[in-house]
Amino acid sequence: MRKSLMRLTLRQLRVFRAVCESRSYSRAAEEMALTQPAVSLQIRQLEELVGQPLFEYVAKKLYLTPAAEALLKASEDIFGRLESFDMQLSDLQGSLQGQLNLAVESSAKYLVPHLFAAFRAQYPEVSLQLVVVNHAQAVRRLSISRDDLLIMSQVPSELALNFYPFLNNPIVAVAPPWHPLCARPNLRLQDLTDFPLLLREPGSGTRRAGEEYCHQKRAHFAETLEIGSTEAQLQAVIAGLGLALLPRHAASLELATGQLCELPVEELPLYHSWCLVHTEGKRLSPVARAFETFIRAERAKISALAERFSGRLTEKPAAS
């Protein structure tokens, strides 16, 4: 017989949500700055209140039970209502206050701080919790509505989502300035395939977009090297380990300072759009609504900001 759910605590729900997101007791403990036994204890106490197991292991992987899925949705409503109430109190005081919980794909992290700074100039009492993820992690966070909003380039069609494209995300080919291809005035993707291509990890959206495009253009690289982050990828290109297909925004500093050159490939840039995304029907907090309104109202200024940041002009319109 289960106990009354009125005895559960917000702390238990926070630990529970961390386990749901990470699918791991140990990673949840690290995120919450707790020990793994402390996480296990919180989950065990929560299961006693619910009266059913919340997680099960299958082939050494952690899965949510139906009870956990239902509790996760309830917890989203509870925290959403509390956050909304907190911000309503701020509205009653005459100013917008609160925290924007924003997740961004890793190649957008160079631009987003500038974007939030422009937003905060209008709302100085708003704070930011920014989480940087790859594409696969972004999709997983969307599936459990983990964040207020998420900025990503390739919006998954299998989820019920609201999204707004607001900025071009041009993917270009880069090489060190002494590379022989930099002296060529015109190139095709096929010309690059004689050299190693540096790729991000399998969950990366940029890698997925680049691989799909190269396959479509029948440009098959004989040698590839996997690099675990955009920063490491940039340094690997500078060191001469190979070429890379990268968002121009991510390589803006290296291009501007001459550490890298953008190869004049006829089939590039490959254009996607950065999109502001949230799950369909999600109740946005006042801060999240204000940020969404800011993005829609200031789209032209955001494009100009991106151009100044990258030092390049985006000549093609954003894809819808």
Quote the percentage of the chain above a pLDDT of 70.
Answer: 90
Paired with 272 in beta bridges are 169
- Which one, of 208, 216, 278, lies nearest residue 245 by Cα? 208
For residue 260, what pLDDT is reported?
Answer: 93
For the entire predicted model, the pTM comes to 0.63
Summarised one tens digit per residue, pLDDT across range 136-180 is 888 888 888 888 899 988 888 888 888 998 888 888 999 999 999
For residue 261, what pLDDT is reported?
Answer: 92
- Do residues 170 and 248 touch, judged by C-beta distance below 8 A? yes
For residue 94, what pLDDT is reported?
Answer: 52
Summarised one tens digit per residue, pLDDT across range 104-137 is 988 788 788 888 888 988 888 888 888 888 888 8
pLDDT at residue 222 tops 90? no
- What is the β-pairing status of strands 261-262 and 161-175? antiparallel
For residue 312, what pLDDT is reported?
Answer: 45
For residue 237, what pLDDT is reported?
Answer: 93
Confidence band of 239 (pLDDT split at 50, 70, 90): very high
Question: C-alpha distances in angstroms, 267 versus 52, 183, 224?
Answer: 56, 18, 20
Tokens encoding 122: 């209008």
One-letter amino acid identity for 194? D
